Structure 1
Amino acid sequence: MKKVFSLSLALVVLIGFTSVAFAENDRPRSRSENAREHMSIVATKVEELLEMREDKEGIGQEVREIARGQNDSQVEVDEEFGKLENRSQVMKKLFGNDHRAARNLRRQMEQNNLRIMQLQELASKVKNQADEDKIQEAIQAILNQNIALAEAIQEEEEIRSAFGWLAKLWLGD
């Protein structure tokens, strides 16, 4: 009974602490907005790649396949980033960021890097300058998105939490 009471008291004090901590965490979410902006740019560039015409080398089809994979990845990135963004401040202060969402975003960033390498290889093979420019723009957009996502994840991970260590232990991070 004493343990339950002391645990309850500790939880009440902790919740009080988090409400005070809200004041110091009321800064604009610029990194989050930056990541969202880059996600939108990537989506636009992927659409441009999907519209590439077929060429003699057959590279257009390969580019479209990579673009479809990137398009699918963008959906998952959007969902996982939403989980990271939408976690309540109380939950962040108690348990930290959504560690699973952050891990999934890192995996998507790794997949983005693989697609970037594939696109770079195809860009070197394409004969049409306009198509090469589209591919290079998409590569740059994906790189910028990865940077913005990494910054947003890092910002989320810097939030101090009371039981974040427990959440990491539970998830095996």
Structure 2
Amino acid sequence: MNPRDRVSYSAVISGCVQNGKSLLALDFFHNMQFSGIDPDEATMLALLLACSHLAALKYGICAHAYFVVRGFVVDTSICNVLIDMYAKCGKIKTAREVFDRIDKRDIVTWNSMIAGYGIHGMKPDDITFRSLLIAYSHLGLVDEGKYWFNAMIQKFYIAPRVDHYICMVNLLDRAGL
């Protein structure tokens, strides 16, 4: 294709990442830079995903800096990918710093941070599960709340306390159950 533009590069980079070709995505990104084409938010998100898949911290830090300069770090979806990338690259403290700066956390934000802690062998405790159950209650996610309540007991061997039962009653009540 000639001439190549931001949209075509972004599409190819995203396609490479989605098909498990993250190294190839980085090559295309370098070609894009050498062509003098500035990446947009979608391209940078795909690049961050590639960095996350490869645990390529150096490229991830550069992408993060680009987001800061361009003012994209207020976007929750970008921060979610940053959390995931830093956690997979072994920088859980940096992932937590990104998490702490997010104004509008969504379910992906929380899941990314929880998964990051899980990757690093940090075991949840009874307070973790209480917080999780409260979140599922407020979101109306009954099946997920039930799953984690049971997992707390059966997989993590944490005995439920009164707080956990109150959370479950609240969860079911909010759902009309």
Q: Which has the higher helix share?
A: 1
Larger-gyration structure (1/2): 1
Relative contact order, higher structure (CA 8 A, sep 6+): 1
Taking structure 2 as the reference length, what is the TM-score of the superposition? 0.23
Taking structure 1 as the reference length, what is the TM-score of the superposition? 0.24
